[in-house]
Amino acid sequence: MDRILLGHGSGGKLMHSLIREHFAPVFELGEMGDAALLRLDPGRIAFTTDSYVVSPLFFPGGDIGELAVYGTVNDLSVAGARPLYLTAGFIIEEGFLLSDFRKIVRSMSHAAERSGIKIVAGDTKVVNRGKGDGVFINTSGIGGIIEGADVSASRIRAGDCILVSGEVGNHGTAIIAERNGITFDPPVVSDTAPLNGIIKELLRSLGPDVHFMRDPTRGGLATTLKEAALECGLCMKIKEGAIPVAPQVTGASELLGLDPLYVANEGIFIAMVEGRRADEALSVMRSHPLGGNASILGRVEDKPEKLVLLETAFGGTRIMDMLEGEQLPRIC
Amino acid sequence: MDRILLGHGSGGKLMHSLIREHFAPVFELGEMGDAALLRLDPGRIAFTTDSYVVSPLFFPGGDIGELAVYGTVNDLSVAGARPLYLTAGFIIEEGFLLSDFRKIVRSMSHAAERSGIKIVAGDTKVVNRGKGDGVFINTSGIGGIIEGADVSASRIRAGDCILVSGEVGNHGTAIIAERNGITFDPPVVSDTAPLNGIIKELLRSLGPDVHFMRDPTRGGLATTLKEAALECGLCMKIKEGAIPVAPQVTGASELLGLDPLYVANEGIFIAMVEGRRADEALSVMRSHPLGGNASILGRVEDKPEKLVLLETAFGGTRIMDMLEGEQLPRIC
């Protein structure tokens, strides 16, 4: 038997063998009950969920399993939380190769270990051939808010500096290139990575002077800044020349008709910090292996309200809106 | 626009309008950030996840939205937890009717209200037409362990009594009948319901004398008892005559070639309680609107180890194993 059968999702013997052979060795599941029992330290927690439907499942720089773990780790991290516990829900298409499933589960296990998060509960459903697409994964996560962290759009102030921790556009470009069978030299690879380490350093140094963080996934940097502008009612003014974009991503974007500012990222975050501490924030980011290309993009201003303004390389100003319609479906 | 488009999952304007128009009015989402910030009382928590892929999406007695809320509420409840917070992750097929989506979201909202659980974070992905099947929903939940509750397979003892809170086989039979276009008179309807109320009453009366609880969903009563037997190493001895099965479910099962003991349930639970308190447990269950058909099924014995023995109506004994292969795919 080398493929997933409908019976693997039916709650009986096949499902138990799947759990025993694939999950039990690599996840930290408790007894076979459906809920994990956990003890949390007193304090506030963050709770988040994301489903992953990326196509293809394996892409340059990662796979859906890794993405599903890091994606939720990152959502917790940008909320100012230390990632603690994760659940994993699989929706598998009948006929999916067990060898690919094993690869994905191992990849999740490695990603969890690298992030220091524990996968404590799971669920497996199987849908008929042609009613799914390989595998979809939901991960939900709990994190404990880090002492001194207080990040939310309501804390953004005029005068804050806007930083990004790394290059923009790598994940989405890698996926779309892979989907179209295009390769670049040097290759474009996904930036998928756990942000809890670099964020912990930033919070340790700046504490509550970090006002806001978010990871620019679907919709890209531009959409995320626009969300922030709408939520806090202020203006985000950034310089095009300050946005780190890898040369091969610039090239690929021109070829594929993409705008890297609207392309999904999976291993960077934006931070808005107290203006006078921007250089310190930059230096903390740059000292971390994931922050070598960190950059100060610009500043928050009072007006014009709720806008993102991009000063172009030619000295003009462009108003950046949210992504309209779909640029790249199933990017994560 | 009356259908879901790929762009509804792309993180941009369409997705924000979906959140604003459909989720925001009925769910208790915080700011648009990806993680909910919560404060929990000190103590142990339960954390669980389940994805729902039931087909059809609407069935006699319920729909996928209600099922997705009650399913996770029940997983928390049988762990001895009070359901507190829920996340909802949607994977929607391009072209899905927005009117059906609205119905499902409203149904989730009502179910959450009835269970006293708050839906605090969500996620929406859209997959291309033919790569999904209408909508799949993941719910993940957090609950706080109830004072005095201590339920786990390791607490099951020889001499414990085995109870079930209601009729067996209704949910699975309703789904399969609907799928095959068969109707019964009186109709067979799903038992989908939140078990936190009845379980709270049971724990209030018996406290730690409730040793184990589980809801017999996929795989049915027989598979759940077999799991328990394997986990505690003891023998579950039950009487066929004591198992409550509605007459129309018995009839439908014969017609459809199903065994109601292996059919999924979504609104009952089994409990193993200290033997001398079985009558009290039964009376607590029967006083609750969801427990009118509660029954004492039998007893836990030392031997033969890890077996489920069914005393049939004819005085014989049948060994009940786990469900083999798949009896009913996509039942939940």
Q: How confident is the model at residue B156 (pLDDT cuts 50, 70, 90)?
A: very high
CA distance A213 to B219: 44
Q: Are residues A133 and A160 in the same domain?
A: no
Q: Out of A170-174, B9-13, B234-238, which region has the weakest mean confidence (pLDDT)?
A: B9-13
More confident call, B16 vs A56: A56
* Inside any domain, residue A223: yes
pLDDT exceeds cutoff 80 at A200: yes
pLDDT exceeds cutoff 90 at A230: yes
Residue A82: in which H helix or E strand, if any? strand A81-93
**Which residue, of B145, B175, B207, is where some domain finishes?**
B145
CA distance A232 to A133: 39
* Inside any domain, residue A328: no
Question: What CATH number should be reported for the domain holding residue B307?
Answer: 3.90.650.10
Mean pLDDT of chain A: 94
Q: How confident is the model at residue B163 (pLDDT cuts 50, 70, 90)?
A: very high
Interface test with B, best of A5, A28, A53, A261 (most B CBs within 10 A): A53
Mean pLDDT of A130-136: 97
Q: For the segment B255-309, what is each residue's pLDDT rounded down to a tens digit?
A: 888 899 999 999 999 999 999 999 999 999 999 999 999 999 999 999 999 999 9
Q: What's the total number of domains in chain B?
A: 2
pLDDT exceeds cutoff 90 at B31: no
Nearest beta carbon to residue A130 from set B9, B123, B130: B130
**Interface touch A326/B46, C-beta < 8 Å:** no
Q: Which domain holds residue A297?
A: 153-320
**Interface touch A330/B53, C-beta < 8 Å:** no
pLDDT exceeds cutoff 60 at A32: no
> Which residues have a Cβ under 8 Å from the Cβ of A148 and sit 6 or more positions away?
A203, A207, A208
* Inside any domain, residue A166: yes
* Inside any domain, residue A326: no
Mean pLDDT of B69-88: 97
Q: Reduce the secondary structure of chain B to three states and give it as a string.
A: CCECCHHHHCCCHHHHHHHHHHHCCCCCCCCCCCEEEEECCCCEEEEEEEEECCCCCEECCEEHHHHHHHHHHHHHHHCCEEEEEEEEEEEEECCCEHHHHHHHHHHHHHHHHHHCCEEEEEEEEEECCCCCCCEEEEEEEEEEECCCCCCCHHHCCCCCEEEECCCCCHHHHHHHHHHCCCCCCCCCCCCCCCCHHHHHHHHHHHHHHEEEEECCCCCHHHHHHHHHHHHHCCEEEEEHHHCCCCHHHHHHHHHHCCCHHHCCCCCCCEEEECHHHHHHHHHHHHHCHHHCCCEEEEEEECCCCCCEEEECCCCCEEEECCCCCCCCCCCC
Q: Are residues B163 and B238 in the same domain?
A: yes
Q: How far is B184 from chain A (nearest CA, A)?
A: 25
Q: How confident is the model at residue B326 (pLDDT cuts 50, 70, 90)?
A: low
* Inside any domain, residue A185: yes
Residues of B in contact with A39 (CB under 8 A): 43-45
Nearest beta carbon to residue A87 from set B35, B47, B219: B47
Q: For the segment B193-222, what is each residue's pLDDT rounded down to a tens digit?
A: 999 999 999 999 999 999 999 999 999 999
Q: Are residues A136 and A190 in the same domain?
A: no
Residues of A in contact with B328 (CB under 8 A): 10
More confident call, B327 vs A100: A100
* Inside any domain, residue B332: no
* Inside any domain, residue B325: no
pLDDT exceeds cutoff 70 at A31: no
Question: What CATH number should be reported for the domain holding residue A108?
Answer: 3.30.1330.10
Q: Are residues A56 and A129 in the same domain?
A: yes
**Interface touch B85/A227, C-beta < 8 Å:** no
Q: Are residues B21 and B111 in the same domain?
A: yes
Q: Are residues A223 and A306 in the same domain?
A: yes
Write down the pLDDT at residue B30.
Answer: 66
**Which residue, of B145, B174, B209, is where some domain finishes?**
B145
**Interface touch B35/A323, C-beta < 8 Å:** no
**Interface touch A51/B125, C-beta < 8 Å:** yes
| Vertex B172 angle, CA B169 and B173, to 5° | 75
Q: Are residues B83 and B230 in the same domain?
A: no
pTM above 0.90, yes or no: yes
- Provide the token pair at A295: 């950059």
Q: Are residues A256 and A280 in the same domain?
A: yes
pLDDT exceeds cutoff 90 at B42: no
CA distance A50 to A37: 22
Q: Are residues B34 and B65 in the same domain?
A: yes
Write down the pLDDT at residue B256.
Answer: 87
Q: How confident is the model at residue A12 (pLDDT cuts 50, 70, 90)?
A: confident
Write down the pLDDT at residue A117.
Answer: 96
pLDDT exceeds cutoff 60 at B32: no
* Inside any domain, residue B225: yes
Q: Are residues A141 and A198 in the same domain?
A: no
- Provide the token pair at A275: 């203006």
Residue of B nearest to A217 (CA): B11
**Which residue, of B97, B113, B145, is where some domain finishes?**
B145
Write down the pLDDT at residue B16.
Answer: 87
| Residue where the block lists tokens 């008179």 | B185
Q: How confident is the model at residue A33 (pLDDT cuts 50, 70, 90)?
A: low
Q: Are residues B200 and B119 in the same domain?
A: no
Q: Are residues B113 and B162 in the same domain?
A: no
- Provide the token pair at B123: 């996620």
